[in-house]
Chains A and B, each alone.
Chain A
Amino acid sequence: MDNDKIKKKKEAWQAEVEKGLAKRPERKENFISLSELPVERLYTPDNLTELDYERDLGFPGQYPFTRGVQPTMYRGRFWTMRQYAGFGTAEESNERYKYLLEQGQTGLSVAFDLPTQIGYDSDDEVSLGEVGKVGVAIDSLADMETLFNGIPMDKVSTSMTINAPAAILLAMYIVVGEKQGVKSDRLAGTIQNDILKEYSARGTYIFPPKPSMRIITDIFAYCTREVPRWNTISISGYHIREAGSTAVQEVAFTLANGIAYVEAALKAGLNVDDFGPRLSFFFNSHLDFLEEIAKFRAARRLWARIMKERFGAKNPRSLMLRFHTQTAGCALTAQQPANNIVRVAFQALAAVLGGTQSLHTNSMDEAFSLPTEEAVSIALKTQQVIGYETGVTDTIDPLAGSYFIEHQTSRIETEAEKYIRKIEEMGGAVAAVEKGYIQKEIQESAYHYQRNVENGERVVVGINKFQTEEAKPSNLLRVDPVVSSQQCEKLKKIKAERDQASVDRSLEALIKAAKGDENLMSPIIEAVRCYTTLGEICNALRSVFGEYEASVMI
């Protein structure tokens, strides 16, 4: 049947259906996705008249990578099952990592506490109450040595959620590797290192955009030479979505940030095919199952096109959008928490059907606190069930060709491109953040969503429908408040034992490098090597770069 004929038949069918609606109305007048895209009653080939298989889909492992970045995808090997973890002291987190590795986890993902993420030592006044709470406290190389004690750094890949001080934590990782006898060219892992989304959505910024972008490009340049298996950045839509954006905004703002990093690196004189292959991404997997699958595919295609057409990248690896996924924390409910297991399973399945390279599944109790071991274990096993039992991993990109999936994939790509153009007109992602445009767009979406939940338009089981009274979980994980004093004691001991003269020299050298245009990685590595603390290094950089002042608006 040709498209015209299908179109005519579809119109006739619609007319027939609409006649019956008076008697049997549909559940809603308008169906829209979680991201407010319209959803029609039925999709048929006439929704895909613009789609060209070779141009828009192609084959796995080939441009434009819509169907996946590897030629065999999960037939070759599964995604990396990587649970984000860390709390308290390095000793406690080290134990949790070993537990996760024993449970069959295949990569580590380190969560740092807020003082570490914002560049303060545990004994700083602003760290009061925060030490060890949302992640592990790292003050000096000594803590990092403990964190990876007994973990073979040549075998495990490690992702570190660290942004403003990413260079320092990477430097520590490199030095601990050396001490384990693992050279830097053998180290594999990722640093998040994505400052732009910190300004717009996540909040752990330190320095203003310009010096921050310079640190990032210094890391790109250093790793290209010295740590070639390292993912130098994880350009993250996850937190943008958590802050309330739609799926389209998640793709658009993430790729706009990606463009800004590529441009900064090109401006610093780097070659796109040197650093391009080490760029990685991080997305959210939310509740609208089909929309999320389309989103991952759209992001992959759009990035490949941007890298090829706009930046002239030639190496196929520069064109591939490789990404980590985490299920949506904001979709977890404190009410009827066991339902979260089901939500997470669907979100994880969407990520797998969307072709993710690694995955974190949230635990059912995370609307209350950090997860218990039992809750984490269910979350990890959810991934194992998807991988080993459901069969969705046996053929590549199994939903391709679905009229709806392909239509939404193209729709999300087109809508994201519109946003990216608008951001370009403002002068790019950095300017858009400085103007508060990105923040405002995200806030609008968040408020709109909350309104829809409160007026019942958007149903959340257990929140605005099917509510029940039930006891809340009682065995929550608590971070022992003594962590803070233990950490301060350790810090005191390190400061007493280290060679203060080399610390002072290392800080002078760092300040000099920061004032000039020398790559900052080497002086940072020298500083961490002699146990200069994270806070001392960040303060030295603050003295040269200043601090970012956020513009606040509601």
Chain B
Amino acid sequence: MVNDKKIRVLAAKPGLDGHDRGIKVISRALRDAGMEVIYTGLRQTPSQIVSAAIQEDVDVVAMSVLSGAHNYLFPKVMELLKERNAEDILVIGGGIIPDEDVPAMKEAGIAAIFGPGTYTQDIIDYIQANVS
């Protein structure tokens, strides 16, 4: 059966970080790959992100943080998603995330972390393979 429903993605910048080159490039690439992309803009609190994800009924939340605040922000988003029974959403993260922080992120429920140098094609492939 052909599923022609477009994958919906919320691209989000949690926290106060202003580095948005990466998230914008990825948003463009996901859109060019046929996905529906909603970009939140800067300075979103975890609860704003979770509300937007639920309201927009997205399949994926893609977050980017380069300020070092991921250890607080990423798990917080996961916690709020669980509270609102939305943990079926695939959540991925990227930015400047040191390797040693990755296990804790995965434990919190972030499905994958993409660091500097990642090809947008790899993110597209990952999403297509993991959205049911």
Contact with B along A43-84 (1 / 0, CB 8 A): 000000000000000000000000000000000000000000
Most chain B CB inside 10 Å of its own CB: which residue of A117, A118, A130, A367: A130
B116 and A367 form a contact (CB under 8 A): yes
Interface membership of A242, Cβ < 8 A: yes
| Residues in chain B near residue A463, CB distance under 8 A | 117
Contact with B along A290-325 (1 / 0, CB 8 A): 000000000000000000000000000000000000
| Residues in chain A near residue B72, CB distance under 8 A | 128-129
| Residues in chain A near residue B96, CB distance under 8 A | 367-369
Shortest A199–chain B CB gap in Å is 10
Interface membership of A334, Cβ < 8 A: yes
B18 and A203 form a contact (CB under 8 A): yes
Interface membership of A280, Cβ < 8 A: no
Chain B residue with minimal CB distance to A198? Answer: B18
Bound CA span A333–B119, Å = 13
Bound CA span A463–B119, Å = 9
Near A by CB (< 8 A), chain B positions 90-122 give: 96, 98-100, 115-117, 119-121
B67 and A130 form a contact (CB under 8 A): yes
B16 and A126 form a contact (CB under 8 A): yes
Chain B residue with minimal CB distance to A444? Answer: B28
Bound CA span A550–B25, Å = 18
Interface membership of A133, Cβ < 8 A: yes
Contact of A203 with B42 at beta-carbon distance under 8 Å, contacts A115-B16, A129-B69, A130-B67 already known: yes
| Residues in chain A near residue B119, CB distance under 8 A | 454
Instruction: Report the count of interface residues on A (CB-CB < 8 A).
Output: 43
A472 and B99 form a contact (CB under 8 A): yes
Contact of A243 with B71 at beta-carbon distance under 8 Å, contacts A368-B96, A454-B121, A554-B37 already known: no
Contact with B along A443-454 (1 / 0, CB 8 A): 100110010001
Interface membership of B34, Cβ < 8 A: no
Near A by CB (< 8 A), chain B positions 9-44 give: 15-21, 24-25, 27-29, 31, 37, 39-43
Contact of A446 with B15 at beta-carbon distance under 8 Å, contacts A129-B71, A334-B115, A550-B42 already known: no
Contact check: which of B17, B41, B70 meets A114 at CB < 8 Å? Answer: B17
Shortest A155–chain B CB gap in Å is 32
Near A by CB (< 8 A), chain B positions 47-93 give: 67-73, 76
Q: A129-B15, A244-B21, A367-B116 are in contact. List 15 more A-B contacts (CB 8 A).
A: A114-B18, A115-B16, A117-B16, A118-B16, A126-B43, A130-B68, A133-B68, A134-B67, A203-B43, A243-B20, A450-B29, A454-B120, A454-B121, A460-B117, A479-B68
Interface residues of B (CB under 8 A from A): 15-21, 24-25, 27-29, 31, 37, 39-43, 45, 67-73, 76, 96, 98-100, 115-117, 119-121
The 8 closest A-B pairs by CB, nearest first: A203-B18, A129-B72, A129-B69, A552-B41, A114-B16, A133-B68, A334-B116, A130-B69
What are 5 A-B pairs with beta-carbon distances under 8 A?
A203-B42, A203-B43, A368-B98, A462-B117, A463-B117
Interface residues of A (CB under 8 A from B): 114-115, 117-118, 120, 126-130, 133-134, 198, 202-204, 242-244, 330, 332-335, 367-370, 443, 446-447, 450, 454, 460, 462-463, 472, 476, 479, 481, 550, 552, 554
